[in-house]
Each structure stands twice: as C-alpha cells, then as structure tokens.
Amino acid sequence: MTTLLVKNIHTLATFDAEQREIRRGALFVRDHVIEQVGTTDALPDTADEVLDLGDRHVVLPGLVNTHHHFFQSLTRAVPAAQNRELFGWLNSLYPLWSNITASMLQTAAQMSAAELILSGCTTASDHSYLFPNDCTLDDEIRAIQAIGLRFQANRGSMSIGESKGGLPPDHLVESEAFILRDSQRLIEQYHDNDRYAMLRITLAPCSPFTVSPALMRESAAMARTYPGVRLHTHLAENISDVNYSLEKFGQIPGEYAESVGWLGDDVWHAHCVKLSDRSLTRFGETGTGVAHCPCSNMRLASGIAPIRTMLDRRIPVGLGVDGSASNDTGHLMQEARMAMLAARVRDEAPGALTAREALAIATTGGAQVLGRDDIGAIAPNMAADFIAINLDRPALAGAGYDPVAALLFCHVDKVDYSFINGRRVVDKGRLTTLDLPKLIQTHRQATETLMNSTR
C-alpha cells in the first residue's frame, strides 16, 4: 500500500454530490483509492508521494469518454471523406479500413489513448466494430493496458453487407454465429466487474444498418447473463439513419431499439441526434444513456442532439469524441467546450448548457452512462482518477474570476498532471507510460503504409 498527497490546489472541483469547489484544496490517496478530500490545512501533511501544486492549478475528476473508434486515428482528414455525410463518409473509408492490420490497430489505439489522456481523459470506451486481416479486440486491449488508460472495450460487429442490403462491403462483415462466440470468449476472458476495474467488456453491434435484428436481440440476451456487461450501438445519427430504419424495419430508430430490447439502464446509444420526442421520453423513463458527440455531428452535418431536453428528461448523458476520422481529433476537453457551445446554438439560448453542466456530462455523466459509481467525482472511496491544469498559461490569463468555467470558455490544450488508478500517467504535461515521439513516428509509418495499400 502506498499513499499520495496532492496539496495546495488553487481550486479543487470535486463534482461530488454536493458539487463542492474547495479553495486551497487537497486530496489524500491510499493505493488507488481516494481516502480524504478537503482543504490543505485539514489533511495529513505527509505521504509516500507528495505533489505540491503551489496554489496555481485547478484539479477535477478525470474526464470520461463514452464513444470512440480508436482505429480511425489512421485515417484523419482523408480528402475523399472531408465533405461527405455519414453514409457517403463511411463508403469512402471502408476501402482504407479493409487494409488495417493488427500492428496498425495497436498503434492507432495507443495514439488515440495518448491523445485522450493528454486532453484530460482517464476512462475511455472504444467501439471497435471491424476486424479485417489479423485484427482482434485483444490487440486493442493489450495496447491500452500498456498505456494505463481505464478501458471499456466494446466488441463491435457488422454482419449485414451490401449483398444483403447493408452498408458495409461484404468482405468486412462477420457471421453472426462467430460474433456471438467471440463475444462470449471476450467476456469470459477479460471482463472485470469488480469495483475500480481497469477493464470491462461491452457488446456493441455497430448499428441498425450493419447488423440484423436477431443479432441485436441475441447480443442483449448474452450481455444480460453476465454481471456488469453493457450494451452499446449507434442510433438516430442523421436523417439517412432514420430513413433506413423506416424502410427496413417500418419503425423510427427509437422504436426499433425498443423492439429489439435495447432500452434500459444497461444500454447507451451514440449520437441520438434525430430521436423523436416520444423516444426521448422513453429513454428517460428507462434510464437508457446517450453518448453525445457534438464535433462529429457538426463535422458530418448530422445535426445537434437536443441535450437540454435530454437532461431535463433525466436521460443519462455522457460525452464522446467519436472516431478520429469524423471529428477529426480526440481532445475530450475540447469536446466538452463544443457541447456547451453547440447546445447554445441549437436552442438559441446562452443558458442552454452551462460550463459546469458540460463538465458534469464529461465526468459524472460519463460514469453513469458506463454504469460506474467509482469514477467521475473526487470523493472518499472513489477511484484515484483526477487531472490538474495549471492556470499560468496564456489561454487562461484574465480568467481568475472563475477558473473552473474558464476551462471551457477558454481553451486548454493539454493537462499538466493526470493520475489514473493512483498512477501518475501525465507529469508536467508529459506522458509517462510510453515514448510519445516514437509512437508518433510509428503511427506516421502505419498511416503511410495504409495509404499506399489502396493505390
């Protein structure tokens, strides 16, 4: 057992049940769990490791990313995909993604994780839904375990190719029997439902336009036989998504999700830009969660999800950067800023979403969406996942009136410190768990190889 004391925090924004913001705050960690929170004067003055922040940092819970596609960091800003809506964007990228190998996938996963961590993320859910060549979800899991990110690994899948009326090419889909066998294997090999777990498995058929209703139902039935295994998919992302659902199933997306058993407090859906009013009500009644991805939705011109309405109807809402080929970044603090601004533009109301509400979505909201009560807040018995941001930077100059809100009203390029499970993974702005310059070079080479494979 080791102890850690972080003291002389300018403002400790706990996001706990009382929403405390403690001036000259401190927190005391034993092993990987927060034991005490309060003012510096009130906490112990010694520990095995002491970090004195000199009254110049804001500390808050690590941000939680509820939707991503790590592999897409290999295909950012591809010219053919820059100005397409969702379905055209996918069709332009499937040929590239078909050539991804396991080593490329591992490199892409680590690059995505590094970008997330430096932007303040300490827990991430990744939706990996295609496995070309020798790729498996195991490759991602190993890569993320090496970097130290708390990880929700989603076993995604596509089973309906073009020949059967789906969107993806036939060579990228898998048989449903294999998908279910592999899903069971991954759950039984990796899923950890203990408190403070660093790895959990989710079952995540890609979308209504890439899998059958039978696979949706069978995946839900399988997940619900294992404690803590959740369900995730894309839903109602844009108007084409709605039209496909009407044409193929005779139902709008929210009705279709309910018909296959995909509402409940163990389910969260990405996007939900085009949910009907009735579906919003049903999501609130059933505790069905939403991963809000404003940058991707704006980039693909899908629209802006009605976040104020979702919050008012008690829908659990978390934040997602989505894929790095539709964002095209993985900066979670920036995503929280965009969530705040997009809600105001959508509703034409400056009070549609406050800075603290956006930060709550990125912390406690994300934790709720992932079904976790051990992350997302700084309080006793919570996991020691937290970040610190130095106020002495040009972007925050003049923002001393409200340094917490300034994190979103202004621009924070990266965090100065990040602790995940009590481990210091960012120290003075530097990632400690891998050689980032070497990773960037390896990633560049992987991208060049992938680009050349389609010429």
pLDDT of residue 443: 98
Do 421 and 452 form a contact (C-beta atoms < 8 A)? no
Q: Is the pLDDT of residue 210 over 90?
A: yes
pLDDT of residue 83: 97
Residues 313-334: what's their mean pLDDT?
Answer: 97
pLDDT of residue 274: 98
Q: What's the chain's length in residues?
A: 455
Give the C-alpha separation, 100 to 181, whole Å. Answer: 23
Q: Which amino acid is at 70?
A: F
CA 203 vs CA 16, 124, 218, 357, 395: distances in Å:
30, 15, 10, 29, 40
pLDDT of residue 454: 76
- Residue by residue, DSSP assigns 14-53 as --STT--EEEEEEEEEETTEEEEEEEGGGS-S--SEEEE-
Q: Extract the runs of DSSP E, i.e. beta strands, from 195-352.
A: 199-205, 230-235, 267-271, 289-292, 317-319
In the chain, the domains with their CATH numbers are 3-62+375-431 (2.30.40.10), 63-369 (3.20.20.140)
Residues 317-325: what's their mean pLDDT?
Answer: 97
**42-89: per-residue pLDDT in tens?**
999 999 999 999 999 999 999 999 999 999 999 999 999 999 999 999
Q: Percentage of residues in the chain with pLDDT exceeding 90?
A: 98
Q: Is the pLDDT of residue 344 over 80?
A: yes
CA 183 vs CA 123, 208, 304: distances in Å:
22, 18, 32
Q: Which CB contacts under 8 angstroms, 24+ apart, belong to 35-41?
A: 35/380, 36/380, 37/12, 37/378, 37/379, 37/380, 40/7, 40/8, 40/9
Q: What is the mean pLDDT of the chain?
A: 97
pLDDT of residue 261: 98
**226-281: per-residue pLDDT in tens?**
999 999 999 999 999 999 999 999 999 999 999 999 999 999 999 999 999 999 99
**87-117: per-residue pLDDT in tens?**
999 999 999 999 999 999 999 999 999 999 9
Position with higher pLDDT, 454 vs 128 = 128
Q: Is the pLDDT of residue 455 over 80?
A: no
Give the C-alpha separation, 254 to 245, whole Å. Answer: 10
* Beta carbons within 8 Å of 178's beta carbon, 6+ residues apart: none
Residues 379-386: what's their mean pLDDT?
Answer: 98
Q: Which CB contacts under 8 angstroms, 24+ apart, belong to 446-453?
A: 446/74, 446/103, 446/104, 446/107, 446/108, 447/74, 447/75, 449/104, 450/74, 450/75, 450/96, 450/99, 450/100, 450/104, 451/96, 453/96, 453/99
Residues 172-192: what's their mean pLDDT?
Answer: 98
How far is residue 449 CA from its own chain's centroid?
Answer: 27
pLDDT of residue 204: 98
* Beta carbons within 8 Å of 445's beta carbon, 6+ residues apart: none
What φ, ψ does residue 219 adopt, rounded to 5°?
Answer: -65, -40
Pairing state of beta strands 21-30 and 33-39?
A: antiparallel
Do 240 and 87 form a contact (C-beta atoms < 8 A)? yes
What φ, ψ does residue 420 adopt, rounded to 5°?
Answer: -125, 120
Tokens of 110: 């680590």
